[in-house]
Amino acid sequence: MALVLFKVAFHSGAAFIMAWGYNMLETTFMDSLIKGQKGGHSQFLTIQSLAIACAAMVVGIFSDILPSVQLLQSARRYLLRLALLLSVVVSSIYWSLVLFAPSLILMKDPRLSEPSSSGQSLVRIPLSIDLALHASPIISLLVDLFAFEAPYTKREATTGATISAALFGAWYASWVEYCALENKNFPYPFLNNPLPVRVTIYLVVVSISVLSFRGISALHGNVYRTFSGATSPKSSKEE
């Protein structure tokens, strides 16, 4: 019972932080501008990834309370994999570019007419919101995977992950391209390139997602086998 309560508290807390981060976007001056565009905040891969990660945590709460319902366990496991595929690429690309090439990831401040070489012309959100959106999902998902989930099978980590990443990549690429046609601009500056360059970026991002997940899954499997005597769930069957 204590473990169940801990898992419920963990999943609830993680979902709350993510939801709080999204809701706090309303306090930023760019919120109304973004909502006025086609697609609103859903143009951003960060927000779509956040929504799926939050859904994984919410489904996790119900699966904690009703562990015998196989449908909940399967849904949680699928959402956790998809959320990891997205969050790992969002966090790795976002923080790398924010630190080393912020002009490629951050939008320009529309209130400033003169560009600034110091980067002050770029829109930055408060650090607390930034961490809730771009750090809490991947941290929560990794803790969830390593602490509470059985390793993904080879098929789940390879074929399943590749199909999921490819399908979501195709969906997001189509969606962001459609929104850009209406908005005359892409949500991420690095996408403001000719179509062949954008297609290459989409393919690279999907590849990074799949390869990163496979690495995480392999590490998780090794850790799980090392501590197989601990109270961990049994490995799932092959898909």
- Residue 36, in any domain of the structure: yes
The pLDDT score that the predictor gives to residue 78 is: 97
Range of the domain at 110: 2-226
Of the pLDDT bands very low, low, confident and very high (cuts 50, 70, 90), residue 1 is confident
Report the number of distinct structural domains present in the chain: 1
The pLDDT score that the predictor gives to residue 115 is: 53
- Residue 90, in any domain of the structure: yes
- Residue 203, in any domain of the structure: yes
Whole-model pTM: value is 0.91
- Residue 222, in any domain of the structure: yes
- Residue 202, in any domain of the structure: yes
The residue among 89, 15, 78 whose CA lies nearest residue 51 is: 15
- Residue 205, in any domain of the structure: yes
Q: Tell me: the pLDDT tens digits for 149-167?
A: 999 999 999 999 999 999 9
- Residue 234, in any domain of the structure: no
Q: Tell me: the pLDDT tens digits for 181-239?
A: 999 999 999 999 999 999 999 999 999 999 999 999 999 999 998 887 544 444 444 44
- Residue 148, in any domain of the structure: yes
